[in-house]
Amino acid sequence: MAANLLYNQSLLSVDQISKEKAELILDTARQMRELVKSKGSGDSLKGKVVTALFYEPSSRTFASFITAAQRLGAGFLPLQGMTYSSVAKGENLADTVRTFASYSDCIVIRHPEVGSAKIAADFSPKPVINAGDGVGEHPTQALLDLCTIADHFKNIGNLEVTMVGDLLNGRTVHSLSKLLSMYPAMKINLVSPQLLQMPKEFISLLEKRKVKVSQSETLDKVIGSTDILYVTRVQKERFTDLTSYEKLKHHYIITTKIANQMKKQAIIMHPFPRVGEIEMDVDLDPRAAYIKDQIPNGMYVRMALLQLILLP
């Protein structure tokens, strides 16, 4: 068993994840999947408490962290929306984080501002896990996405990944593209409207790491060779001008006709929530991995992360 390099460490960005750490997390997540399937729960984190401090809406990340803690026997402090905490009275992030760190062993934070998880970690004496910081990163989503990809493809290198939708504001694609750049001979096709292109710093980083990157506004030329189609929602909450959002929100809709142009062994992923980018009929396609694989993997990967961060 590899040394636990995650113990007592914050997880703020996928930049902290080496191949060795990724393998450890994925191996542990597979053990968690077996644990849940065989016994439902365990008690390895009995006596530990996890705070979930969510300043932005969430269904999957919030609920999967809470259930991950529960299934390992930990207690949890669920704070969502902040209406009933002292944040509503104007308390700053540093004081909030220091307060909850004194009651618990780990803080999972979602916040609308880029860099907020790092600020939280600077003030917290306990490890902090970034559960999404504005348009910045979503490292635990990228890890569950990697787990899903590893479940479907024996070798993660040499894959052609097409990311489509709001690549400007989508933190999931920011984190996932960086994480995938660790693997050899990856090709990443970035498909978006001009206004929602992947930020240049991410493209430069991918190219520096020898990822083959293509950019286009349509799926036509890449759909047939794609191994993984990663669809994203246009992020309404990041728009200051709702007229632009209305024009762009359904720029891409994945239909069964489009899915049928894909390889037989390809998969279709989406971090969810979806708001019309993939038609419901596509859910019946065996290549649709977003409900049957990504969502449950979210809990197994977060169980693995809590275990690895909280236990030596």
Question: Which residues sit at the interface with ligand CP, rule CB under 6 A?
Answer: 58-62, 132, 141, 271-273
- The sign one gets for the Cα dihedral 174, 178, 180, 185 is positive
Residue 296 tokens, joined: 């449950």
Is the CB of 274 or the CB of 287 nearer to ligand CP? 274
For the chain, the 3-state helix, strand and coil shares in percent, each to the nearest 5, are 45, 15, 40
Rounded distance, CA 54 to CA 108, Å?
Answer: 8
Query: In terms of DSSP H, where are the helices of 183-287?
Result: 200-208, 242-248, 256-259
Shortest Å distance, C-beta 177 to ligand CP:
16
Cα(78)–Cα(193) distance, rounded to whole angstroms?
A: 37
The CB-of-118 to ligand CP minimum distance in angstroms stands at: 19
Strands, sheet with 49-54, edge to edge from the N-terminal-most edge strand: 75-80, 49-54, 106-111, 128-133
Phi, psi of 310 (to 5 degrees): -95, -15
Strands 49-54 and 212-216, by their bridges, are unpaired
Which 3-state string (H, E, C) describes 105-117? CEEEEEECCCCHH
Closest CB 294 distance from ligand CP, rounded Å: 8
Cβ neighbours, 10 Å, residue 269: 25
Shortest separation between residue 134's beta carbon and ligand CP, angstroms: 13
Q: How far is the CB of 84 from ligand CP (least distance, A)?
A: 20
* Least distance CB 297 / ligand CP (angstroms): 11
As measured in angstroms, the least distance from the Cβ of 113 to ligand CP is 16
Comparing CA positions, the residue from 148, 151, 131 lying closest to residue 140 is: 131
Measured CA angle at 115 (ends 105, 58), to 5 deg: 65
By beta-carbon proximity to ligand CP, the closer residue of 124 and 172 is 172
Complex with ligand CP: residue 104 or 141, whichever CB lies closer: 141
Q: How many CA atoms lie within 13 A of 153 on its CB side?
A: 22
Nearer to ligand CP, 58 or 181 (CB): 58
- Select 222 or 300, whichever has its Cβ closest to ligand CP: 300
Query: Which is nearer to ligand CP, 162 or 297 (by Cβ)?
Result: 297
Minimum distance between the CB of residue 287 and ligand CP, rounded to whole angstroms? 20
Which of 10/141 has CB closer to ligand CP?
141
DSSP state of 198: P
Cβ nearer to ligand CP, comparing 152 with 274: 274
